[in-house]
Structure 1
């Protein structure tokens, strides 16, 4: 019985659309994350003097806000996924389950 339900769900065009949408968003957010993190690492490796430049007359350097921005970007990207999942994916999943019963 469970195998039949799974096959019915897999044939549903809404399920295919859900899988496609989630895949595209997941890969996009993953690529953005990798670009941010590797970009920061490359900046550390190839421009340490730039990151060590003080801001104003204090002890804070340019690298500190950039590093904080890298961390904050991870939370922002997770937030984007959660908002999209709550707005689109949950309702689409509910529709798929209701149609397969």
Structure 2
């Protein structure tokens, strides 16, 4: 793209709004991924007996395995949430911004 086109995009209020909304959303998803992960690691380091406990009496599955599965599935869901919002909202805003530059 030409320098003038880039300047036009950056000066567009919709672009500023898009960057803020997307950055805020990504920060929330990042926190939603890292906080549980580091909590799991913290517990594994300081209280591994809790993770070794059984989910319920007579179960062969321990809390650590269940927590690991929940972490993995949770990250998949958060990734899907990002893709869904990007396809529905962020891509439309990007198309509108680019259409305004081409005029």
**Equivalent residue for 2:89?**
88
Give how far 1:43 is off. 1.3
Give how far 1:59 is off. 2.4
Which structure 1 segments of 5+ residues have no match?
none
Give how far 1:47 is off. 1.8
**Equivalent residue for 1:75?**
76
Q: Secondary structure at the residue paired with 2:78?
A: helix
Give 1:36-75 correspondences, 5 Å limit: 36-55=36-55, 56-75=57-76
Report the Cα distance in structure 1 between the residues aligned to 2:32 and 2:61, rounded to whole angstroms. Answer: 27
Give how far 1:54 is off. 2.0
Per-residue deviation, residues 23-76 of structure 1 (Å, max 9, x unmatched)? 101111111211011011011112211111123324221111111001111101
What's the TM-score once normalised by structure 2's chain length? Answer: 0.91
**Equivalent residue for 1:18?**
18
Aligned residues: 101
Report the Cα distance in structure 1 between the residues aligned to 2:74 and 2:59, rounded to whole angstroms. Answer: 25
What's the RMSD between the two structures over aligned residues? Answer: 1.2
Q: Secondary structure at the residue paired with 1:23?
A: helix
Runs of 4 or more, structure 1, over 4 Å off, are none
Q: Secondary structure at the residue paired with 1:93?
A: helix
